[in-house]
């Protein structure tokens, strides 16, 4: 048997392991088919074939509206779309989410839109009969009839549309047509949305820029431009690309062990979570998409604070096969209201679990008292409700110092001519575990030198020899014997060299 090496001249050190000063918890349980980050604090989640928006705190933003698709945010709104439109390219507008306050509005009635539609200046292009387009407001009310073959979003109060033929016109939010310069009437082959008070148009005679009164303000040169999602011809130097979600991976990173993933800190590589996940993405802004598999996904939140597990001795038993131990778990403050199970197992025993106090009344300190095989290492796992294993640690069997039997006896009948009287301290280890320990023997006029540490094999004994000095009369001398957290006193009657 391998000895358990512990120095015993000091108070017993707790057998404990601490994680790095970070841990994790689920804010969205791993129950979902897919999860995509759409904003720093928002995630698009698919469940049962439907999409929902959740905040990073696990709050459902879209309420009870199951969407077949959710569009990206444009001008601060994301559309909730259904598949009940008249064709594959046309969706039903179920509602929308405001980015500012994360409010969700349901659209009454039946409004059809294309998948790339969005609200601009309070109006959204909608699809009517014969695939004609019009505009509806935020309540789903049709404001401009579906009379147009093509439309662009409203910009600066006007929208570029095609009604008859193949030429563009401009309408305001009431549907009234903008009076154009005579030279452009029914001649605009390409009409872009207004940008900084001007709209780029192209006719058979060239490129021109008109103002919101429909008059040509300049024309001629066709310089470089980019068409943005509102249909505006923006000069290349002025164009700002739409925001794209490119998370800054600034937190713990996944580590792979076999088929499983855990997390370590990015810089110091300290353990944050053992490899218990089937899928894991890096942390960004304190959150990470992870799960049991690629089809069972959730959202993890990074929390500050360490998890500590201690193995303490329980009530002593002389049973050679089992012993009582106490496993103490100390949780970060942020986990004190979480239900936590503690699993303890070894080769011969089945797992035992403890369900902690449920909120309210949660505590950061939880304990489990249980019997374990005396000779075996034991594996401890700290498991959050929902099955997330936060920590795994193997503990060696405890050294039970109170089980040591200590005796002190004289080794001579009288002191020698130098007035020295011999004694020995006998330590008996009745347990099946080898003990390696440091022992000190002290007292008045005592000489006892001992090489430390010493090893006492299982079910065996060890003797430490010493002597009293200045023995000039018969008396009782005291010894103080310290081993680990134990201290005892023994007395021996000494007899001088001459006399009683």
DSSP 171-203: E-TTSPBP---GGGTTT-SEEPBPBTTBEEEEE
Domain edge (last residue) among 374, 395, 416: 395
Q: Are residues 104 and 211 in the same domain?
A: yes
Q: Render pLDDT for 47-89 as a digit per residue (tens, 0 to 9).
A: 999 999 999 888 999 988 999 999 999 989 999 999 987 778 8
The answer, yes or no, to whether residue 422 has pLDDT greater than 90, is: yes
Within-domain flag for 2: no
**3-state DSSP percent of the chain in helix, strand and coil, to 5:** 0, 50, 45
Within-domain flag for 4: no
Q: What is the mean pLDDT of residues 133-157?
A: 96
Does the bond joining 375 to the residue before it have cis omega, within 30 degrees of 0?
A: no
Contact between residue 280 and residue 290 where contact means Cβ atoms under 8 Å apart: yes
Q: Are residues 202 and 58 in the same domain?
A: yes
Q: Are residues 137 and 46 in the same domain?
A: yes
Q: Render pLDDT for 5-41 as a digit per residue (tens, 0 to 9).
A: 332 222 223 334 444 479 999 999 999 999 999 887 8
The confidence score (pLDDT) of residue 343 equals 87
Q: Render pLDDT for 271-285 as a digit per residue (tens, 0 to 9).
A: 999 999 999 999 999
> Counting every residue, how long is the chain?
500
pLDDT band for 97, please (50, 70, 90 cuts). Answer: very high
Write down the pTM of the prediction: 0.74
Within-domain flag for 28: no
Helix (H, G, I), strand (E, B) or coil at 334: helix
Within-domain flag for 27: no
pLDDT band for 3, please (50, 70, 90 cuts). Answer: very low
Q: What is the mean pLDDT of residues 92-105?
A: 94
Q: Are residues 51 and 166 in the same domain?
A: yes
The confidence score (pLDDT) of residue 416 equals 95
Contact between residue 45 and residue 37 where contact means Cβ atoms under 8 Å apart: no
Q: Are residues 353 and 474 in the same domain?
A: no
Within-domain flag for 221: yes
Q: Render pLDDT for 300-359 as a digit per residue (tens, 0 to 9).
A: 999 998 899 999 888 877 777 888 899 989 999 988 888 888 888 888 777 776 656 444
Q: Which string of DSSP letters, residue by residue, matches 292-327?
A: EETTEEEEEEEEES--EEEEEE-S----SSEEEEEE
Q: Are residues 56 and 140 in the same domain?
A: yes
Q: Are residues 490 and 377 in the same domain?
A: no
The answer, yes or no, to whether residue 439 has pLDDT greater than 50, is: yes
User: What's the number of domains the chain is made of?
Assistant: 4
Within-domain flag for 373: yes
List, edge to edge, every strand of the sheet that includes 168-171: 150-151, 159-162, 168-171
Q: Are residues 354 and 482 in the same domain?
A: no
The answer, yes or no, to whether residue 375 has pLDDT greater than 70, is: yes
Domain edge (last residue) among 235, 270, 285: 235
Q: Are residues 379 and 452 in the same domain?
A: no
- How buried is 243 (Cβ within 10 angstroms: 0-12 exposed, 13-18 middle, 19+ buried)? exposed
- Dist. CA 13–CA 484, nearest whole Å: 9
Contact between residue 181 and residue 215 where contact means Cβ atoms under 8 Å apart: yes
Q: Are residues 60 and 207 in the same domain?
A: yes
Within-domain flag for 33: no
Q: What is the mean pLDDT of residues 261-269?
A: 91
Q: What is the mean pLDDT of residues 229-244?
A: 81
Within-domain flag for 113: yes
Of 76-80, 203-207, 297-301, the one with minimum mean pLDDT is: 203-207
- Location of structure tokens 């698919």: 46
Q: What are phi and psi of 187, to 5 degrees?
A: -125, 0
Domain edge (last residue) among 266, 287, 302: 302
Listed in order, strand segments (DSSP E) in 33-66 are 34-39, 42-47, 50-55
For 253-290, letters b (16+ CB in 10 Å) and e give bbbeeeeebbbbbeeeeebbbbbbbbbbbbbbebbbbb
- Location of structure tokens 């002290």: 442
The answer, yes or no, to whether residue 376 has pLDDT greater than 90, is: no
CATH (domain of 437): 2.60.40.10
- How buried is 326 (Cβ within 10 angstroms: 0-12 exposed, 13-18 middle, 19+ buried)? middle
- Mean pLDDT, all residues of the chain: 88
Q: Are residues 171 and 54 in the same domain?
A: yes
Element (H, E) at 249: none
Distance of CA 428 to the CA centre of its chain: 50
The answer, yes or no, to whether residue 469 has pLDDT greater than 70, is: yes
The confidence score (pLDDT) of residue 244 equals 57
Q: Identify the CA nearest to 409 among candidates 427, 430, 389, 426.
A: 426
The confidence score (pLDDT) of residue 341 equals 86
The angle formed by the CA atoms of residues 452, 457 and 462, to the nearest 5 degrees, is 55
The Cβ-side half-sphere exposure at 427, using a 13 Å CA radius, reads 28
- Dist. CA 321–CA 431, nearest whole Å: 9
User: Which domain range does residue 488 map to?
Assistant: 401-494
The confidence score (pLDDT) of residue 16 equals 42
The confidence score (pLDDT) of residue 18 equals 41
Q: Are residues 165 and 265 in the same domain?
A: no
- Dist. CA 437–CA 435, nearest whole Å: 6
């Amino acid at each position: 048997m391998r000895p358990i090496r512990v120095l015993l001249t000091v108070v017993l050190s707790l057998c404990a392991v601490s994680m790095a000063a970070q841990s994790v918890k689920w804010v969205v349980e791993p129950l979902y088919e897919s999860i995509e980050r759409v904003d720093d604090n928002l995630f698009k989640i698919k469940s049962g074939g439907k999409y929902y928006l959740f905040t990073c705190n696990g709050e459902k933003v879209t309420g009870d509206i199951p969407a077949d698709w959710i569009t990206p945010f444009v001008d601060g709104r994301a559309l909730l779309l259904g598949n009940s439109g008249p064709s594959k390219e046309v969706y039903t507008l179920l509602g929308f989410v405001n980015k500012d306050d994360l409010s969700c509005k349901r659209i009454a009635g039946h409004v059809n839109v294309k998948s790339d539609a969005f609200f601009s200046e309070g109006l959204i292009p909608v699809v009517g009969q014969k695939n004609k387009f019009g505009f509806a407001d935020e309540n789903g009310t049709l404001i401009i009839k579906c009379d147009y073959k093509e439309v662009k979003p409203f910009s600066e109060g006007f929208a570029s549309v095609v009604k008859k033929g193949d030429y563009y016109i401009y309408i305001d939010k009431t549907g009234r047509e903008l009076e154009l310069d005579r030279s452009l009437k029914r001649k605009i082959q390409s009409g872009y949305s207004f940008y900084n008070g001007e709209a780029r148009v192209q006719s058979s005679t060239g490129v021109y820029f008109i103002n919101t009164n429909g008059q040509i303000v300049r024309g001629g040169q066709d310089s470089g431009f980019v068409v943005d999602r509102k249909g505006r011809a923006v000069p290349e130097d002025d164009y700002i690309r739409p925001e794209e979600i490119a998370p800054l991976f600034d937190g713990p990173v996944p580590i792979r062990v076999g088929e499983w993933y855990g997390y370590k800190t990015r810089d110091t590589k300290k353990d944050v979570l053992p490899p218990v996940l089937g899928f894991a993405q890096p942390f960004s802004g304190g959150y990470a998409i992870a799960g049991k598999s690629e089809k069972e996904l959730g959202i993890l939140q990074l929390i500050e604070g360490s998890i500590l597990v201690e193995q303490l001795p329980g009530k002593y038993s002389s049973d050679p096969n089992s012993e009582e131990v106490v496993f103490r778990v100390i949780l970060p403050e942020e986990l004190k209201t979480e239900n936590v199970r503690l699993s303890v197992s070894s080769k011969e025993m089945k797992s035992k679990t403890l369900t902690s106090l449920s909120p309210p009344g949660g505590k950061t300190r939880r304990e489990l008292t249980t019997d374990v095989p005396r000779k075996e290492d034991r594996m401890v796992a700290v498991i959050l409700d929902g099955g997330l294993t936060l920590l795994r640690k193997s503990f060696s069997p405890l050294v039970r110092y109170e089980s040591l039997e200590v005796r002190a006896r004289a080794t001579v009948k009288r002191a020698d001519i130098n007035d020295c009287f011999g004694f020995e301290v006998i330590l008996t280890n009745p347990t099946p575990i080898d003990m390696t320990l440091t022992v000190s023997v002290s007292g008045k006029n005592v000489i006892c030198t001992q090489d430390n540490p010493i090893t006492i094999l299982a079910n065996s004994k060890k003797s430490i020899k010493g002597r009293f000095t200045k023995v000039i009369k018969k008396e009782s001398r005291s010894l103080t014997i310290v081993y680990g957290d134990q201290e005892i006193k023994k007395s021996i009657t000494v007899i001088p060299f001459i006399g009683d």
